[in-house]
């Protein structure tokens, strides 16, 4: 949409509300057996992250 200030997708931590662009270096990445690579919140270490669209 034209109202979007940026085309960058943002991801958000559902646990503490931390936000950063999806795939950004601010996010931690963890290997989870059976699930593969997941995004982890650098603040609260939660992997309960949603990717905005």
Residues that bind Zn ion (CB under 5 A): 13, 15-16, 18, 41, 43-44, 46
Instruction: Compare residues 9 and 43 and give the one whose CB is closer to Zn ion.
Output: 43
Instruction: Compare residues 8 and 28 and give the one whose CB is closer to Zn ion.
Output: 28
**8-20 b/e with 16+ CB inside 10 Å = b?**
eeebbbeeeebeb
Computed on alpha carbons and rounded to an integer, the radius of gyration of the chain in Å comes to 12
Question: Least CB distance from residue 20 to Zn ion, whole Å?
Answer: 10
Instruction: Compare residues 8 and 43 and give the one whose CB is closer to Zn ion.
Output: 43
Distance in angstroms (rounded) separating the CA atoms of residues 23 and 48: 15
């Amino acid at each position: 949409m034209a109202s979007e200030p940026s085309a960058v997708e943002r991801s958000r931590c559902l646990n503490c509300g931390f936000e950063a662009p999806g795939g950004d270096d601010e996010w931690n990445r963890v290997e989870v057996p059976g699930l593969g690579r997941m995004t982890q919140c650098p603040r609260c270490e939660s992997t309960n992250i949603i990717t905005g669209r």
